Amino acid sequence: NAGVTQTPKFQVLKTGQSMTLQCAQDMNHEYMSWYRQDPGMGLRLIHYSVGAGITDQGEVPNGYNVSRSTTEDFPLRLLSAAPSQTSVYFCASSPRAWGNQETQYFGPGTRLLVL
Amino acid sequence: KQEVTQIPAALSVPEGENLVLNCSFTDSAIYNLQWFRQDPGKGLTSLLLIQSSQREQTSGRLNASLDKSSGRSTLYIAASQPGDSATYLCAVRGSGGSNYKLTFGKGTLLTVNP
């Protein structure tokens, strides 16, 4: 198993550009989520999905869109990039959405710089 | 709103020392608590998960305890090694309406000196 994979590893954007951060998992996990990690802020949840076709907002969803057409993939779209979106983005998955035994598996991250 | 605090923010110890990292949370209604390790420029690796009904979990030189009623968890690392140097993150998964997400602390940066 490759686990949770993310592409690209690093990206530079200009303000106003759009892009999609890719996330895929090969563990047949129901639950997938996106976090951003900023210095002094910790990790914050952007969007999450409890299964194919079902998504919902987390703590900081503004400026981001997601979709979940398959169990494996959960892309994160930046519609019009802003410098405030400069961050490291992590995708995570777990076998099921609910339950107290569900370990979260994280991808390696995408480092995004918006100029 | 759940808040997670980790103390200390940074810790430097000589190799071989036993050490304790602390995590506290404000809302005791949790499903579980996880400790993660993050190496520089890398993703998070889960170390231990403690269910809300459990008091502790052990894996090798690591032992994590949970006192849900007081909102505290500790990660004990025995006989520390330079390879243990990393940032350690604590995260709680809420119960009820907030059980879809993890709330993270800001981490403890551990340096183990040879």
Say which of A98, A102, A108 has its CB closest to residue B43. A108
pLDDT at residue number A2: 78
Contact A49/A71 with Cβ under 8 angstroms?
Answer: no
Is-contact B34 B49, C-beta < 8 A? yes
Q: Is the pLDDT of residue A99 over 70?
A: no
Q: Per the structure block, which two tokens stand in for A47?
A: 């969007």
Confidence at residue B96, expressed as pLDDT on a 0 to 100 scale: 66
- Nearest-CA distance from A8 to chain B in Å? 14
The answer, for B31 touching chain A at a CB cutoff of 8 Å, is: yes
The CB density around residue B64, as the number of other CB atoms within 10 Å, is: 24
Outline where chain B has alpha helix (H).
Answer: none
Q: B90, B4 in Cβ contact below 8 A?
A: yes
A1 pLDDT higher than 90 = no
Of A8-22, A96-110, B5-19, least confident by mean pLDDT is A96-110
pLDDT in tens, A7-54: 999 999 999 999 999 999 999 999 999 999 998 888 999 999 999 999
What distance in Å separates the CA atoms of residue A6 and residue A24, rounded to the nearest whole number? 7
Any chain A CB within 8 A of the CB of B23? Answer: no
Calculated CA dihedral for residues A9, A12, A16, A20, nearest 10 degrees: -20
Contact A42 B105 (CB under 8 A): yes
Query: Under DSSP, is residue A47 helix (H, G, I), strand (E, B) or coil?
Result: strand
Give the mean pLDDT of A82-91: 97
Nearest to A103 among B34, B53, B99 (CB): B34
Q: So what's the pLDDT on residue B98?
A: 58
What lies within 8 Å, CB to CB, of A90 at 6+ separation is A6, A34, A35, A36, A37, A43, A106, A107, A109, B43, B44
Q: What is the mean pLDDT of chain B?
A: 93
* Residue B33 predicted with pLDDT over 80: yes
Interface residue ranges in chain A relative to chain B, Cβ cutoff 8 Å = 4, 31, 33, 40-45, 48, 50, 56, 58-59, 90, 92, 97-109
> Which residues on neighbouring strands pair with residue B33, listed in sequence order?
B50, B92
Please tell me the distance in Å from B3's CA to the nearest CA on chain A.
11
> Chain B residues with CB inside 8 Å of A40's CB?
106
H/E element, A49: strand A42-51
Instruction: Write down the pLDDT at residue A100.
Output: 60
CA distance B34 to B46: 7
- What percent of chain B clears pLDDT 70, i.e. is strictly above it? 96
Kindly list the distances between the CA atom of residue B56 and the CA atoms of A37, A48, A85, B34, in Å, as whole numbers in the listed order. Answer: 28, 29, 38, 11
Number of Cβ pairs < 8 A linking chain A and chain B? 62
Per-residue model confidence as pLDDT tens digits over B56-102: 999 999 999 999 999 999 999 999 999 999 999 999 988 766 567 78
Q: What share of chain A is helix, strand, coil (3-state, %, to 5)?
A: 5, 50, 45
pLDDT digits (tens, 9 = 90+) for B49-69: 999 899 999 999 999 999 999
For residue B5, give how far its alpha carbon lies from the nearest alpha carbon of chain A (Å). 10
For residue B1, the model assigns a pLDDT of 84
pLDDT band for A104, please (50, 70, 90 cuts): confident
Q: Do A100 and B45 touch (CB under 8 A)?
A: no
A28: left (phi over 0), alpha (psi -120 to 50) or beta: left
The Cα A43–Cα A40 span in angstroms is 9
Q: What local confidence, expressed as pLDDT, does residue A101 receive? A: 66
Q: Tell me whether residues B106 and A90 touch, CB distance under 8 A.
A: no
Q: Please tell me the distance from the alpha carbon of residue B19 to that of residue A25, in angstroms, as a whole number.
A: 35
